[in-house]
Amino acid sequence: MRDFSSDHRWLSINTATVRRSRGVDLPLTEIIEACARRGIRAISPWRDQVAAAGLDTIAGRLKANGLALSGYCRGGMFPVTDEAGRRAARDDNRRAVDEACELGAPCLVLVVGALPGALAGKAAHKDMALARAQVRDGIADLLDYARSMGMPLAIEPLHPMYAADRACINTLEQALDLCDELNPQPRGADAGRAALGVAVDVYHVWWDPKLKAQIERAGARRLLAFHVCDWLTPTTDLLNDRGMMGDGVIDIPRIRGWVEAQGFDGYSEVEIFSARNWWQRDHRQVLDTCIERHRVAV
Amino acid sequence: MRDFSSDHRWLSINTATVRRSRGVDLPLTEIIEACARRGIRAISPWRDQVAAAGLDTIAGRLKANGLALSGYCRGGMFPVTDEAGRRAARDDNRRAVDEACELGAPCLVLVVGALPGALAGKAAHKDMALARAQVRDGIADLLDYARSMGMPLAIEPLHPMYAADRACINTLEQALDLCDELNPQPRGADAGRAALGVAVDVYHVWWDPKLKAQIERAGARRLLAFHVCDWLTPTTDLLNDRGMMGDGVIDIPRIRGWVEAQGFDGYSEVEIFSARNWWQRDHRQVLDTCIERHRVAV
């Protein structure tokens, strides 16, 4: 297991962590500069932030600042109610792959979607099996395109509390079952990264009694991204009350140890949605805290 | 699958559903009378409500009103930090078994506990494996006593969002693994109820992609209780924002169909924690709504 205590070379910042500074939206260009100034070597930006600044602008700023990506957020949201919706989702996901290529991302993260309409409070139906079948078909279709572009897809299993409205893939086992179905590993496959793998976010999977076994099953080829934050007790909001590493109950070093025992050698990406706390602070303080906690609590 | 549309003979009320009426605590004696007046045949009371009214009083009122129990809430909370805590938990759980016997409950429901102190916001440690080992040992010890008293124990797997502070058994598979370890089924076992089984609450398990398979694995012997409510979108509180059946996204009839296909023929118990909605209403209206929804949405 790598020693993180003396530097932050393996720290990446998911830009949602500092998308607001003192409660105000912060442009991605400023996030990039603040990260570069602190010797942070990688970020994982969100599509809406990239679109607001312009894809070319962001590609240029990343290059000028020597910043890598640890992932690109995000594709997915496959379940729909009609053919027009399916085509729109397909086209949008292909654009996400194109953008990920343009920015040099190592993978496109997929939040796969769930019951159509549920995110707006009006689920079109209650058929999780149908939603899961649409996710399967959507990934299968996108995988063809992504492979042609050389862009790995990372399925991010989300915590079961998001099963209704954000993602109906809710355990690492379920995600890996899908990987094995759609992208079977050839015998004697090399040690490279799979075209379809997973993003392991400790917030979503820490509770899972099968976590260690499924990380071992994934192996280095399927482990495309590793995200950290913490689970607070109490948690006051289902979406936007994630904690800074060390402030909650997740044994992050233990999980990182399992991931690295498989050969994972990528970035540890900090992704914190925190409406009541960290988004209310100055982003420079948040980044400094991420660096400090990366050394002592990850 | 039983037809619930024409009566409510298989409806049970978990008394937490009406523990407050118009925001004020409601005595269990009044809950019993309000249920009996509506032809509701069973309830599942909580220990604190029974203690407030007196065990003998409640036993008498149940008998006088011809009310059965569908379960008794609850034992568990096994993980502790020291030997004194372990002894206290053991003694308290044995008292819970005694009370369940006194009230004629068909099972004692177990909410097994998680990281000690987390419920108060100060987890003593982050070792889920340790907590799970203590849960295993605690159930093993209690099972000996419960068997001697003829009281089945029903492990209730809680939603993974409660893994830190309420229960570290979070899937039906995990609960059944424990049942099989501590109470293996003899070959040629009869069709009676197991001494150790599960309480299936749709709120906790609806998201699980392995739910149907695990219900089939449980079979009638292990299926000791069936609880219903609904998952709202959005859900505004992790604990106390459960929905009335039909107001959310859970396909309750589908899950009940799976449970009954195994031979489960017990009550469908309504358990709704709802600080912002149902606990603010008059309990008579809540009970009437439970009866109506039991017929059309369960």
- Distance, in Å, from the CA atom of A160 to the CA atom of A166, rounded to the nearest integer, reads 10
Q: Is the pLDDT of residue A185 over 90?
A: no
- Distance, in Å, from the CA atom of B261 to the CA atom of B53, rounded to the nearest integer, reads 38
Q: Which of A170, A234, A250 sits opposite B207 (nearest CB)?
A: A170
Chains A and B form CB pairs within 8 A to the count of 89
Q: Is the pLDDT of residue A191 over 70?
A: no
pTM: 0.98
Q: What ipTM does the predicted assembly reach? A: 0.97
Mean pLDDT of B172-195: 88
Q: Are A153 and A197 in contact (CB under 8 A)?
A: yes
Query: Could you report the per-residue pLDDT of A6-42, keeping only the tens digit for each?
Result: 999 999 999 999 999 999 999 999 999 999 999 999 9
- Distance, in Å, from the CA atom of B278 to the CA atom of B232, rounded to the nearest integer, reads 13
Mean pLDDT of A85-102: 98
Q: Are B176 and B194 in contact (CB under 8 A)?
A: no
pLDDT of residue A5: 98
Predicted confidence band at B188 (pLDDT cuts at 50, 70, 90)? low
- Distance, in Å, from the CA atom of B223 to the CA atom of B157, rounded to the nearest integer, reads 12
Q: Are B6 and B32 in contact (CB under 8 A)?
A: no
Contact list, A163 vs chain B (CB under 8 Å):
206-207
Q: Are B227 and B271 in contact (CB under 8 A)?
A: yes
pLDDT of residue A141: 98
Looking up tokens 């598979």 gives B173
Contact list, A238 vs chain B (CB under 8 Å):
161, 234-236, 238
Q: Is the pLDDT of residue A93 over 70?
A: yes
- Considering Cα of A118, then A124, then A128, then A133, what sign does the dihedral take? negative
Contact A234 B121 (CB under 8 A): yes
Q: Is the pLDDT of residue A187 over 70?
A: no
Q: Is the pLDDT of residue A188 over 70?
A: no
Q: Is the pLDDT of residue B87 over 70?
A: yes
The Cα-based distances of B5 to A78, B36, B67, B290 in angstroms read 36, 20, 21, 13
Mean pLDDT of A118-145: 98
Q: Which of A119, A238, A249 sits opposite B118 (nearest CB)?
A: A249
Contact B164 A128 (CB under 8 A): no
Q: In this prediction, what percent of chain A has a pLDDT beyond 90? A: 97
How is chain B split into domains, by residue range? 11-297
Q: Taking an 8 Å Cβ-Cβ cutoff, which residues of chain B contact chain A? A: 115, 118-119, 121, 123, 126-128, 132, 159-161, 163-165, 168, 170-171, 174, 206-209, 231, 233-236, 238, 248-251
Residues 6+ apart with CB under 8 A from A24: none
Contact list, A298 vs chain B (CB under 8 Å):
none
Beta strand pairing call for A42-44 and A68-69: parallel
- Distance, in Å, from the CA atom of B240 to the CA atom of A219, rounded to the nearest integer, reads 39
Query: Could you report the per-residue pLDDT of B61-73, keeping only the tens digit for each?
Result: 999 999 999 999 9
Q: Which of A164, A209, A248 sits opposite B174 (nearest CB)?
A: A209
CA closest to B232 among chain A residues: A121
Residues 6+ apart with CB under 8 A from A14: A43, A44, A70, A71, A73, A227, A269, A270, A271, A272
Contact list, A159 vs chain B (CB under 8 Å):
160-161
Contact A161 B160 (CB under 8 A): yes
Q: Is the pLDDT of residue B7 over 70?
A: yes
- Considering Cα of A186, then A197, then A163, then B121, what sign does the dihedral take? positive
Query: Could you report the per-residue pLDDT of A52-90, keeping only the tens digit for each?
Result: 999 999 999 999 999 999 999 999 999 999 999 999 999
Contact A249 B174 (CB under 8 A): no
- Distance, in Å, from the CA atom of B116 to the CA atom of B131, rounded to the nearest integer, reads 8
- Distance, in Å, from the CA atom of A260 to the CA atom of B213, rounded to the nearest integer, reads 32
Mean pLDDT of A251-260: 98
Distance from CA of B249 to the nearest CA of A (A): 5
H or E stretch at B132:
helix B128-149
Q: Which of A163, A231, A251 sits opposite B127 (nearest CB)?
A: A251
Query: Could you report the per-residue pLDDT of A32-44, keeping only the tens digit for each?
Result: 999 999 999 999 9
Per the structure block, which two tokens stand in for A39? 């010797």
Contact A161 B128 (CB under 8 A): no
Residues 6+ apart with CB under 8 A from B200: B172, B215, B218, B223, B225, B226, B227, B255, B259
Q: Which of A206, A209, A233 sits opposite B118 (nearest CB)?
A: A233
pLDDT of residue A282: 98
- Considering Cα of A237, then A72, then A158, then B123, what sign does the dihedral take? negative
Q: Which of B171, B174, B238 sits opposite A238 (nearest CB)?
A: B238
Per the structure block, which two tokens stand in for A281? 């602070």
Going by the DSSP 8-state scheme, the letter that residue B234 receives in this structure is: S
Among B35, B39, B41, which residue's Cα sits nearest to residue B68?
A: B41
Q: How many CB atoms lie within 10 A of CB A23?
A: 9
Distance from CA of B120 to the nearest CA of A (A): 8
Phi, psi of A251 (to 5 degrees): -80, 80
Contact A164 B132 (CB under 8 A): no
Q: Is the pLDDT of residue B224 over 80?
A: yes
Residues B267-286 as b/e (b if ≥16 CB within 10 A, e otherwise) read bbbbbbbbeebbbebebeeb
Predicted confidence band at B192 (pLDDT cuts at 50, 70, 90)? confident
Contact B207 A132 (CB under 8 A): no
Query: Could you report the per-residue pLDDT of B109-120, keeping only the tens digit for each?
Result: 999 999 999 999
- Distance, in Å, from the CA atom of A274 to the CA atom of B216, rounded to the nearest integer, reads 40
Query: Could you report the per-residue pLDDT of B106-153, keeping only the tens digit for each?
Result: 999 999 999 999 999 999 999 999 999 999 999 999 999 999 999 999
Mean pLDDT of A124-140: 98
- Distance, in Å, from the CA atom of B230 to the CA atom of B55, rounded to the nearest integer, reads 31
Distance from CA of B238 to the nearest CA of A (A): 7
Exposure on the CB side of residue B28, measured as CA atoms within 13 A:
24
The alpha carbon torsion through A160, B208, A44, A29 (nearest 10 deg) reads -50
Degrees, nearest 5: CA angle B224-B248-B174: 35
Per the structure block, which two tokens stand in for A93? 């996901």
Contact list, B132 vs chain A (CB under 8 Å):
209
H or E stretch at B59:
helix B55-64
Q: Are A235 and A265 in contact (CB under 8 A)?
A: no
Q: Taking an 8 Å Cβ-Cβ cutoff, which residues of chain A contact chain B? A: 115, 118-119, 121, 123, 126-128, 132, 159-161, 163-165, 168, 170-171, 174, 206-209, 231, 233-236, 238, 248-251
Query: Could you report the per-residue pLDDT of A210-229, keeping only the tens digit for each?
Result: 999 999 999 999 999 999 99
Mapped onto helix, strand or coil, the DSSP state of residue A200 is strand
Among A269, A118, A236, which residue's Cα sits nearest to residue B230?
A: A118
Q: Are B227 and B201 in contact (CB under 8 A)?
A: yes
- Would you identify the CATH topology of the domain A11-297? TIM Barrel (3.20.20)
Mean pLDDT of B258-287: 98
Q: Which of B123, B174, B250 sits opposite A249 (nearest CB)?
A: B123
Predicted confidence band at A192 (pLDDT cuts at 50, 70, 90)? confident
On average, the pLDDT of chain B sits at 97
The alpha carbon torsion through B173, B138, B145, B176 (nearest 10 deg) reads 0
Contact A164 B209 (CB under 8 A): no
On average, the pLDDT of chain A sits at 97
Predicted confidence band at B189 (pLDDT cuts at 50, 70, 90)? low
Q: Are A18 and A32 in contact (CB under 8 A)?
A: no
Q: Are B128 and A202 in contact (CB under 8 A)?
A: no
